[in-house]
Structure 1
């Protein structure tokens, strides 16, 4: 029986990497059937959320290939819809910041608006904008002197009103039915303390902003993630000294060291928390505590005293995702939304393939068959 576990590993050596190409497809191994089946896919698929918070999530996706993992990553970045400021109508801006730069900064402010509450942006913005697809904001602020400022005061915050213009100054202006639609969660900036610009006495800003729904393919301001990345699960296998040709018999859960100093050198060759040193009956052992914390530096392979005692690799179908939300979605909601987008893309592809198949079958029909089909349709 072949060792299927080793086939899942990309092996790391001191100066090269081996077993890079995947071989889990039909015809590679004699007598083995690797045809893709939905039942097998479901059996091996695993999704495990490791870290959960409002703005960051880490989860494991096991049992898929790199194309699926990368598709999800790209969808997270560029195809999950959000709402952002698209148009700025500048009525008055006497600040030091130019109109174009200020408009650009406003567009990059993440907005706390559930995009599922809005329709897609209209093709014709001038005639198609409604309260169902556009959210309106205003920014009206002026800077003036504080009457209670001390004579020798140097801090602008204590000298002037509105010396710093923060995102909290952006005010939502309800349109149509939006007052009731967003009553429980009014649209606003995700972080109210984002600095937009600075003002001094006599300077003011008066403008109106229109926010629409779109995705990162249109502009990065619509991307719901600050970072979306993945890495392969590290694999660390301890090997006791012995026959180098029979690796299976050499595999151990813990490896005995000569003394405490050697055990600590082994531990320190990895990242923090990867290897644990334990003392049992006066002897020192090392064991793998948390391989997912390893950064795969391969430093252990450069130490001659540990040659042949450890095998490094990465599991080719075990992806560790790290996703940080910009605030439009809770971080834990991003993966399900990305999967929904992927399913819609699959449905669209299936419909196109079925349409092409019908057209191809129709083109192969004989004149008599075409006449019969026309008669059936007319009847």
Structure 2
């Protein structure tokens, strides 16, 4: 008898809360999702190692149920201090508008905390670890598996899924172009990896033997059923959980998503240097023709003060409002209400 993915992970339902970085996935959201019978996820991408350790402890204090931590595989960038200065100066009008006074960060201050984060994940015995922006190294996979960790990779094409399976991951997130936030592409330009979920999932399912998790635009029971029908064993949902009561997303961010139209959602590299889908605002509009943008994660470091000041000033026009293609389906509700609406509607559809 085949053991399904959610059974392997000891979940009641095949639903994973997307690991949204940037402070959205606090202990309240992650633990509430896990308590609901799904898999809560910490988006550790930008977190300092000490903060990640504290957050893991907080989640463990809330629940003994499984949860995941997501890490951003580092991308090496050969950029000079002079290039950083040029990109930094291009952002001065936005810092001026928000009243930000700061000095340009040094190149060494922009180093990825990935390796320290991975050490913490291993030390804290996190049961599930997912990776985005690339593949963990072979020795890292061996170390995680020796400790019994379930490993999930992220693919935006069939080739990426094949590479991840060969590397030894236990499951693969098939990230359709509908997904909010950053593209998980790692095998070429993101512009060449924009397959929609309906096309991507069945193709990946046909070419890998590990379980596939569908991600991108899944907001309710209809898209949940469709993803499973296409061959996925579970779904990963971000925007739907972002607007829940337990989410730590900024109130102005939640409000922007709840009131957004589908034609306001665009793909931009302006905030981070890597293509990401979100709601178009004044910052994105102003940066549309800007050529002085550094690659990820350097651009992300340069805009950090802008995003932080915007949040402090309750100004959504300068915040990164990551969102999938279906904002009209977002609701202000509890995690329990969201999960129950999906599961109950799905049961009714089968009777």
Hey, which of these two has a bigger chunk of helix by percent? 2
Which has more radius of gyration? 1
TM-score range, shorter chain: under 0.3
TM-score normalised to structure 1 length: 0.18
